[in-house]
Amino acid sequence: MTSCCSEKSHDCEPSACNCLDGPAMPISDFPMAGSKTSVCCGVSSAVAHAPHEKPGYRLLDFVVNFMETPAGSVPQVRTEVTRADRRATIGCRLGIGRDRYRIAPGIYATGKPVADSPVLVTANYKLSFDVLRSHLAGIHAWILVVETNGINVWCAAGKGSFSADEVAKQVVAVGLDKLVTHRRLILPQLAATGVAARQVKKQCGFEVVWGPVHARDIIAFLDGGLQASDAMRRVTFNLAERMKLIPVELTHLGKTTLIVLPALLLLSGISPGLFSIHAALTRGMLAFLAYLLAIVAGTVLAPALLPWLPGRAFSIKGVAIGMAASALLAIRTTGQLTKTEMLALALFIMALSSYLAMNFTGSTPFTSPTGVEKEMRRAIPAQAAGGLIAAVLWVSAGFL
């Protein structure tokens, strides 16, 4: 129920790849061994030209250059997303490296911004930063990245790390007043949950302008005189946006499965002769198949089919899709299950699918905490009862 908003506070260890913490000075080529001529060994020098190399540091691959400004050296970032970025994004979607996917807070540049260029503020979750810069092709802008411990804009705003205090702190820390002549920050609209605009103004003198929800609308917003259309101000949750969230939900079920599988085998093996390994394996596999179907129903199909499933409560939607999964199981296992066994597995699938679908309330942009609480108070007892009755039926079926 909280999958998008990791409450963990991540340790902010200084990592070797963060060359952006200090000004990286451009290093000129070694004068005696110019990059064109090779002096030693007779092989032509194939060493990549790396003007920003610095011992002990590694240049992040989205940085193309550094520009000298009155506020110090500022990294200029590319607006293309590379294959490595995409790989890391896929990793995040699978829950790999997702908890420490952050970049150093501070000031960055796209293009060659000047003193009256816009300042765009974002979170230091690398995925958020990538989305923003990928929509800034051809734009000369400053990007002010605030410390949100690697959490995205909306979740960070909701949990309080993307706040007026943090924005003002970064404005002062980078010396933004030396960099630009205007006093205006463009914040993503969803940061409004955590940032009180008047507090930012009070603390650092910069006025907050609310930009669009999505980075893809930034150029239209800038071109339109900092005005966002109604559509740019609303969140969406279309099929593609829902599908992206499914893999990480599935990976969360790995550990649960390690407990569920032996438990199902154990329950399935209880027999008149105390325990039957044969029953544990044959009936156990059928129970495990039911478990997998419940996962597909509650974690994959419920989010995908969300607008089309009946009911407003996610637990009801989960029961509905669980019913369909049960019907599928009944068709595929004709003759292998008694009526009691089938009833037990159908109850199990519906209870679990209902619970898993309800879990997804934590990942959507339209469910309210009060609503989720109300739903959980009613649904959890019903789901638990369903699961318990299913277990009793399943075990007793072994004695019939």
Partner 1 sequence: MRDLRYLRGVTTLAYENERCIGCGNCILVCPHSVFARDGERKVRLADPDGCMECGACA
**Both structure tokens of 383:** 């789901």
* Candidate list 95, 99, 111, 237; residue touching partner 1; CB under 8 A: 237
Q: Which two tokens stand for residue 41?
A: 């060994």
Which is nearer to partner 1, 13 or 373 (by Cβ)? 373
- Residues 6 or more apart whose Cβ sits within 8 Å of residue 174: 71, 106, 107, 144
| Options 109, 127, 213, 265; binder of partner 1; rule CB under 8 A | 213
Q: Does 334 sit near partner 1 (CB under 8 A)?
A: no
* Residue 189 found at the interface with partner 1 (CB under 8 A): yes
Strand order, beta sheet including 119-123: 63-69, 72-77, 106-110, 141-146, 119-123, 184-187, 207-210
Tokens for 377, please give them.
């108070």
Sketch the per residue contact string, 23 through 62, with partner 1: x for CB under 8 A, - otherwise: ----------------------------------------
Phi/psi for 239 (5° steps) reads: -55, -45
Least distance in angstroms from the C-beta of 238 to partner 1 = 10
- Can you tell me which residue has the tokens 């970064």? 170
The site string for partner 1 over 338-377 (x = CB under 8 A, - otherwise) reads --------------------------xxxxxxxx--xx--
Residues 267-306 that bind partner 1 (CB under 8 A): 306
| Residues making up the chain, counted from first to last | 400
Can you tell me whether residue 4 is helix, strand or coil? coil
Which one-letter amino acid corresponds to residue 178? K
For residues 153 and 191, the answer to whether their CB atoms sit within 8 Å is yes
On whether the CB atoms of residues 138 and 113 are closer than 8 A, the answer is no
CB of 118 to partner 1, least distance (A): 18
Q: What tokens were used for 305? A: 């089919």
Among 158, 303, 318, 322, binds partner 1 (CB under 8 A): 158
Q: Give the closest residue to 106 by CA, choosing from 19, 7, 223.
A: 19
- Rank residues 180 and 313 by Cβ distance to partner 1 and give the closer one: 313
Among 307, 385, 388, 392, binds partner 1 (CB under 8 A): 307
Residue 120: partners with Cβ closer than 8 Å, 6 or more residues away: 132, 136, 141, 142, 143, 144, 186, 211, 218
Nearer to partner 1, 11 or 230 (CB): 230
Nearest distance, CB of residue 193 and partner 1, angstroms: 5
Whole-number minimum distance, CB 395 to partner 1, in Å?
Answer: 36
Spatial contact of 390 and 347, defined as CB atoms under 8 Å apart = yes
Instruction: Pick the piece of the chain touching partner 1 (CB under 8 A) from 62-70, 75-83, 193-201, 322-330.
Output: 193-201
Cβ atoms of 134 and 80 within 8 Å: the answer is: yes
Number of residues that bind partner 1 (CB under 8 A): 30
**Six token digits for residue 144:** 């002010």
Shorter beta-carbon distance to partner 1: residue 175 or 365:
365
**How many degrees, rounded to 5, is the angle at CA 336 between CA 332 and CA 337?**
95
Half-sphere exposure of 96 (CA within 13 A, CB side): 7
Do the beta carbons of residue 351 and residue 318 sit within 8 Å? no
Does position 318 interact with partner 1 (CB under 8 A)? The reply is no
Min dist CB 220 to partner 1, Å, is 16
Closest to partner 1 by CB, 190 or 337: 190
Cα–Cα distance between 102 and 337 in angstroms, integer? 51
Instruction: Specify the residue, 349 or 358, whose C-beta has the smaller distance to partner 1.
Output: 358
**102 or 214: CB nearest partner 1:** 214
Q: Are 21 and 14 in contact (CB under 8 A)?
A: yes
Residue closer to partner 1 by CB (options 87, 202) is 202
Per-residue contact string for residues 217-236; x = within reach of partner 1 by CB under 8 A: -------------x--xxxx
The minimum distance between CB 183 and partner 1, in angstroms, equals 18
Over its C-alpha atoms, the chain yields an Rg (Å, rounded) of 27
Q: How far is the CB of 226 from partner 1 (least distance, A)?
A: 11
Smallest gap from Cβ 147 to partner 1, in A, equals: 21
Query: Based on CB atoms, which residue is closest to partner 1, 95 or 371?
Result: 371
Task: Please give the residue ranges that form the binding site for partner 1 (CB under 8 A).
Answer: 154, 158, 189-190, 192-194, 197, 210, 213, 230, 233-237, 306-307, 312-313, 364-371, 374-375
